[in-house]
Structure 1
Amino acid sequence: MGELAKALSANKQQAPDHVQLHDSPAQRSVAAKADSDAEVTELEPVLWVNSFSHSGSNGSALCHIERDGLRYLVPVSGEVNPLFAFAFLESFLETLREYLGDVTEGTVKDNFDIVYMLIEEMLDEGHPMTMETNMLKDIVIPPSLVRKLLNVAGVSGMQNQQVAPFTAPIPWRRPGVRHSNNEIYFDIEEMLDAIVDRKGKTISGQVWGRISCNSRLSGNPDLLLTFANVSVMGEPAFHPCIRYNRWERDSVLSFIPPDGKFKLLDYEAPAAQVPLTLKARVTTDATGGE
């Protein structure tokens, strides 16, 4: 038993804690950060890596998010608001879902050329440029089963199609949209987050809402959406198609919708006013009152 324990101890000392693919200063910095925070189950959303900076003045950082077992990273440098990078990551993931459906490791590997072209079109020298899915679909053709079969068979008839440049006056809607049936669907989803005591009384609560649309309208339709009680939608965040001045003036949604599925707006319902009743009681005496 004593020799067996010595052998196990020797093997444990010889075995490395983790495999290092590249022994770079940046990786050593990230590895040191992970080792120092071994007890923390989740990484910080922003990892500061000063060794990435060539000048050594401001340094750089990695903004990352995790979705469905995949981690997406965006390196930033200089004076950049991290929320800017996270907003781009969320938009990029929405675009991937429009192109690939379920974004998994397998779908990313099978459509790596599509993912690479999307990054090239959505970023211009590190700055977000083309973010609308309807515009991207005219530049980067979505993958299809027929196209994959032709690529495997070596047929180049569809591979060399020239894609016309996107020249629509409305960035979020493609020109010449045609549908056999003109229809649009609205889905209102609300999520309640509340704290309730053991007696069932609500201590605090918040309600977040979202209005999603699925538009199948031909041409360039101009829609007007009204609400019976707009006061329930506090601090709304609109899609770029919404005419904000019209909303501020008339409290209605006037817009030309994108084609297909899109998120029209997010909102937070204001907290309900709790009725409060005060009963005053005044007593007086020779020295004064209370």
Structure 2
Amino acid sequence: MISGILVATLRGDILLSRYFRNDLTHSMNQLFKIKVILRSDNEDLAPVNQFGPASFMHIKVEDFFVAAMTAENTNSLLVFEFLYKFVDILRSYFGEKLNSKKFQSHFVMIHEILEEIMDFGHPQITDVDTLKLYITQGKINPAKLMKEEKVKKITNTATGMTPWRSPDISYKKNELWIDVIEKINLLISHQGVILKSDVEGEIQLTSNLSGMPHCEFGMNDKLLVEKEKSKGKKATTDSIAFDDFSFHKCVKLSTFKNDRVVSFVPPDGVFTLMSYRATELLSLPYRIVSQVKYTTASHLEYEVTVASEYPTKLFGIKVTIKIPTPPDTAVCKINLKSHRTVGRPSMMLSRGLSCGR
């Protein structure tokens, strides 16, 4: 697994070095400094490199490098996931803006965090809320911290089946909100032909539930349709075809694999339950056709036609159309030909960008 973690500045100064196993020595710090940091072409260097007996996997954050070293054939994706998670934990403690000065100011606490999230080279507790139960900033009252109930709560949360949720959460009114947020990426030719399209979506939940609730909801995605076809059932036409998707760690993957049911014990508050991407059977909200004409050497005309594709019972609000213009654009005029548009367009010129609403 991971033999050591190294944090160094862009000049090669070592900010933090922690080795968890005995298969590598501290000389790997200088090896990483010479082979990676001080190289003239380090911008083009691959994130995974092997020098001597060690493999180095590093990421660049602000003005420093965070690197993991290993002497074994380790899953690199797992290592990178840990490195980014380590950075997220530090940002939750010390703010979004991380720099080398914060490593120097909070050296002891960062070492303490690293000791808790890594055990003999194996990642363990990486949940921020759980870490903040016993790794805190500021003054601590030992008498309050060492109460038996407090210690029991921390132990159960850190070692239990659901470290992302405490069992003593209570609300007068139990509520759960589900928001589906989708972003459509679309590439259209000047003739109106769709060249490329995909949807990136997230299912966000806001959980205000008491105790340890167990939630479930079913999904009618493409994998379920194929399973129904194998059983002789007729597939529905409104099925969802996901190209790839990922779940929050609270989701039971075995249940989803067997029954196609998303089963989970939700964290408290707002969280992203699922992220997905789809490229098939997309229903685009608008059809866009554009033409560009140079009438004179200094005059440019855009003709953009936007037609809605959704039913007439639905309507779009806060629709923004951004049209890029040349950097030296001085004057922009917008004319609407459709009398069915509600409201008047607004226009803004900033760095060659013209926006109309």
The 1:160–1:103 alpha-carbon spacing in structure 2 relative to 1, beyond 3 Å, is: farther
Is it true that 1:272 corresponds to 2:281 in the alignment? yes
Is it true that 1:45 corresponds to 2:20 in the alignment? no
Task: Show the counterpart of 1:262.
Answer: 271
Q: What is the TM-score normalised by the length of structure 1?
A: 0.64
Q: Which amino acid aligns with 2:30?
A: Q
> Which consecutive unaligned segments of at least 5 residues does structure 1 have?
1-17, 51-58, 275-290
Distance 2:43 2:176 in 1: 44
Task: Show the counterpart of 1:128.
Answer: 123
CA RMSD after TM alignment: 3.6
Q: Is the 8 A contact 1:134 1:258 kept in 2?
A: no
The 1:77–1:259 alpha-carbon spacing in structure 2 relative to 1, beyond 3 Å, is: farther
Distance 1:93 1:170 in 2: 24
Q: Is the 8 A contact 1:183 1:215 kept in 2?
A: yes
The 1:268–1:72 alpha-carbon spacing in structure 2 relative to 1, beyond 3 Å, is: same
Distance 2:278 2:81 in 1: 23
Aligned 1:1-290 pairs, distance under 5 A? 27=30, 30-32=33-35, 38-39=40-41, 41-50=43-52, 59-105=53-99, 108-141=103-136, 143=137, 148=138, 151=139, 157=141, 161-162=145-146, 164=151, 165-168=154-157, 169-172=160-163, 173-179=165-171, 182-226=174-218, 231-248=240-257, 250-272=259-281
Number of aligned pairs?
A: 236
Q: What is the TM-score normalised by the length of structure 2?
A: 0.54
Distance 2:120 2:173 in 1: 41
Deviation larger for 85-94 or 25-34: 25-34
Q: Which amino acid aligns with 2:204?
A: S
Q: In percent, how many aligned pairs have the same letter? A: 24
Distance 2:179 2:102 in 1: 28
Q: Which amino acid aligns with 1:124?
A: D
The structure with the greater share of residues assigned to helix is 1
Q: Which amino acid aligns with 1:203?
A: L
Q: Is the 8 A contact 1:96 1:103 kept in 2?
A: no
> Which consecutive unaligned segments of at least 5 residues does structure 2 have?
1-9, 15-26, 221-237, 284-357
Report deviation, 1:89.
Answer: 1.5
The structure with the greater share of residues assigned to strand is 2
Q: Is the 8 A contact 1:190 1:209 kept in 2?
A: yes
The 1:46–1:220 alpha-carbon spacing in structure 2 relative to 1, beyond 3 Å, is: same
Q: Is the 8 A contact 1:238 1:264 kept in 2?
A: yes
